[in-house]
Structure 1
Amino acid sequence: MTGGTAPATLPLPLAAFVSFTITFKLDRASERSLNLAGPALESLSAGCPWPCMPIVASLWAQKVKRWSDFLIFSASRTVFHHNSDAVVQLLKSCFTATLGLNSTPLSSNGGVGALLGHGFGSHFYGGFSPVAPGILYLRVYRSIRDIMFMTEEILSLLMFSVREIVGDGLLRERMEKVKKTKNGMRYGQVSLAAAMTRVKLAALLGASFVWLSGGLGLVQSLIKETIPSWFISGHGSEQEGGCEGIVAMLRGYALAYFAVICGTFAWGVDSTTSASKRRAKILRAHMEFLASVLDGKVSLGCDWATWRAYVSGFVSLMVGCTPTWVLEVEVDVLKRLSKGLRQWNEEELALALLGRGGAGAMGAAAQLIVESEI
């Protein structure tokens, strides 16, 4: 389309290709040719300026009406090839559906069923059924042109989701009951556990998107650059009613799960995979960043509760789930991390970290035990 009032047109090569393929008779003799030309035509149309794909889809839908559902679906997803904002909105819909953060019929229960739905087709209510956001993303992510922006957007959506989880009423309503009951923190503990379950689900979803969208390179960029930059950059305390401290804490744990799950997708948890050879360099850089902040050498722009939850959560997951990773971190860095954890009264976690550090960290672990006894 050359202007706001100009008629919609196709580029000449694409128009010629459409004209050539649409003249085929739909019989067995032409089936092989259509199997080759069809995907090429769809890919070419999607890569051309808007609205080339809708035009091609409408032409083919007139020829073969039974293909209309597929053609409509193919035409609708081309916007994601050209518009990064549309991709962000699609990702947001995926988080919303999976976490059950709204009341639409498609996503009221949340979970994988809401994310992936039932594919697409005309088998619901006699018409074209809604396409689940996860299915749509699976069809478009390979065509996203600027893949590097995805990590920051996914991280932002994860932080937004944590706030929405707390504000969804699940936690806030029960926290009010804590003040009125004689059973201590029973209601508060239950609601916090429920919120934590949804936070873990959000972290898993975000990590899956990072790994699916960019693979090893995007994961390494996330852990080496994006997450440290997020902590250093300014994130002012947001007003969350009476739950701002809980939001900050859950964001830290969400980031910890997010980072570790991304790492396990990319590197595995042992030392036998080829990708694990690249793990040590990235992991050492990240752990050096954590230690430098604890040493006071780096200033943060985030909420302190978020940072504390992230460090304790990340280290706990490494110690409990990926102990091989700890062996790849320099002993001096482990000692500095252990010292910082002790200042937070996390003696058990500090000792567990040194205990996983191999023979080189045994002396520091022994010293910590003696000091604890004294």
Structure 2
Amino acid sequence: MGICLNLIHVLMCRCIAGLRDLVDFLPASLAAIVSYFSAEITRGIWKAVPMNGTEWPSPGAALHSIEDEVKEILASAGVQIHSCYPRGVPPMLPLPMAALVSLTITFKLDRSLDYIHGIIGQALENCAGGSSWPSMPIIGALWTQKVRRWHDFIVLSCIRSPFGRDKDAVAQLIQSCFSSFLRSSPSSGSDITASRGVGALMGESITGHQGLHFPMAPGFIYLRTCRTFHDTYFVSEMILRQVIDCSHKLANGWSSNGPPHLKSGRPPLSGAASMASQVAMLGAGLLCVAGGPLLVQVLYEETLPTLLLSAQEQMLEDPGPVASTLQGYAMANMLFFCGSLLWGSEKTSPIMKLSFLSRRPRVVGTHMDFIAGVLDGHILLGCDPGTWKAYVSCFVFLVVKFVPTWLRDIKLDTLKKIAVGLRSWHEHDLALSLLERGGPKTISAVVETLLQ
């Protein structure tokens, strides 16, 4: 392997044909070539070379064509991006990337070489995604010139490129996902009863008789690109903010229907609460898909507690009682849905002790300790009291009703403090249910509660 890597280093600087001869003579060397180029691209020490058609192949007009198509697709989903390749200037690629893509386009499209295309295709995507250089459109343009029937697939692969380096594009995409999910129909005057949902989020199809179908649904683009988001903490905060903003809009929509002092002229508040729950479910799904177990853990231990502890003006200025309640309700639902999607409702089995499922008792326990600390007066909140009350009541209710096995891993002192806080809000039944599901250790606490 060491001799092969040294040979690759010499050949890369001299002749792509030499690398091709090496692969033809020793097909297994392709793995070493890809490994070497990937490592060199990750190091980021190589200078960029012009893809001008002389020393290295030129993408030509196909590059700007693909870039325009990518911008059009993203614009149809509500995401605006800037051009990375000024016209009249040869595009540039880091030397290892230029060598790798130049090598790949020399292989013929033959079924006997499917194993090669399977390796180099994934390698090119991984290298382009792991590099800060906007290289995927150039790679796509070169391959489009070689295989025109792959055009649609290549364009869809290139839409991932902006999201790996542009936080603003990520924020726009997340916002567009929520907006499309809550989008109202032109014939509906109510923002609560409007036509919306998964259909608007995911769309009906991505291709038609004339190629790619426009507009393209933001949910589909999110699923295609979420694995390229580098700053998942930023994604977590953005999703949580969108859930809060949407619940605020739902509350305003409910308040604006009918005279302010005449309740009979308004739709029931349960409709807004139901939509807030669905928005929270969407947020949980987007977060779990993008970040997986680590991001859910961060949401429980850092993101949500920090938001609740922050000053009220950092959330929403003067939200009002209805908006405050819906915000707390939506945050509780999102946290619960994230946990239930990841950990399920059963106790951790011995088989899964080494997996992410074993983190559940500690993660949920830490968050319940935080709730108990606030209710006990040891931690001061910055959010609206109505938001906090709705959040705690809803989250505890969801855990008690749907995942009671989680409570058996919570410390007795924590459960007692939460129960005392719930009773102070006249939530006596919920406090008793919480203690009843805490396992054998809470029997005495249940008896004491019944005797009070």
Interval of TM-score (by shorter of Structure 1 and Structure 2): 0.7 to 0.9
Which of 321, 324, 341 lines up with 1:265 in the alignment?
341
Which of 111, 114, 120 lines up with 2:197 in the alignment?
111
Name the CA distance, whole Å, in 1 between partners of 2:239 and 2:328.
15
Deviation for aligned residue 1:186: 5.3
Map 1:118-197; keep pairs closer than 5 Å. Answer: 118-121=204-207, 123=208, 128-167=213-252, 169=253, 171-174=254-257, 176-177=258-259, 179-180=261-262, 185=263, 188=266, 190-197=267-274
Which of 131, 142, 148 lines up with 1:59 in the alignment?
142
Name the CA distance, whole Å, in 1 between partners of 2:441 and 2:131.
59
Are the counterparts in 2 of residues 96 and 102 from structure 1 also a CA contact under 8 Å?
no
Deviation for aligned residue 1:90: 1.2
Deviation for aligned residue 1:252: 0.4
Q: 1:102 to 1:83 in 2, by over 3 A?
A: farther
Equivalences, count: 356
> In the alignment, what sits opposite 2:12?
none
Name the CA distance, whole Å, in 2 between partners of 1:324 and 1:349.
16
Name the CA distance, whole Å, in 1 between partners of 2:288 and 2:218.
17
> In the alignment, what sits opposite 1:205?
282
Task: Give me the identity figure in percent.
Answer: 39
SS of alignment partner, residue 214 of structure 1:
helix
Aligned AA for 1:115?
Answer: L
Aligned AA for 1:263?
Answer: G
Bigger CA radius of gyration = 2
> In the alignment, what sits opposite 1:84?
167
C-alpha RMSD over aligned residues: 2.7
Are the counterparts in 2 of residues 115 and 132 from structure 1 also a CA contact under 8 Å?
yes
Which of 411, 431, 440 lines up with 1:330 in the alignment?
411
Deviation for aligned residue 1:259: 1.1
Aligned AA for 2:284?
Answer: A
Deviation for aligned residue 1:358: 2.8
Which of 320, 323, 326 lines up with 1:244 in the alignment?
320
> In the alignment, what sits opposite 1:293?
374
SS of alignment partner, residue 10 of structure 1:
strand
Q: 1:71 to 1:200 in 2, by over 3 A?
A: same
> In the alignment, what sits opposite 1:34?
117
Name the CA distance, whole Å, in 1 between partners of 2:117 and 2:156.
19
Segments of 5+ residues of structure 2 without an aligned counterpart are: 1-47, 50-84, 187-193
> In the alignment, what sits opposite 1:362?
443
Name the CA distance, whole Å, in 1 between partners of 2:96 and 2:445.
70
Aligned AA for 1:80?
Answer: F
Segments of 5+ residues of structure 1 without an aligned counterpart are: none
Are the counterparts in 1 of residues 152 and 211 from structure 2 also a CA contact under 8 Å?
no
Name the CA distance, whole Å, in 2 between partners of 1:126 and 1:12.
34
Name the CA distance, whole Å, in 1 between partners of 2:129 and 2:440.
57
TM-score, normalised to structure 2, is 0.72
SS of alignment partner, residue 300 of structure 1:
coil
Deviation for aligned residue 1:31: 4.1
Q: 1:120 to 1:367 in 2, by over 3 A?
A: same
SS of alignment partner, residue 243 of structure 2:
helix
TM-score, normalised to structure 1, is 0.85
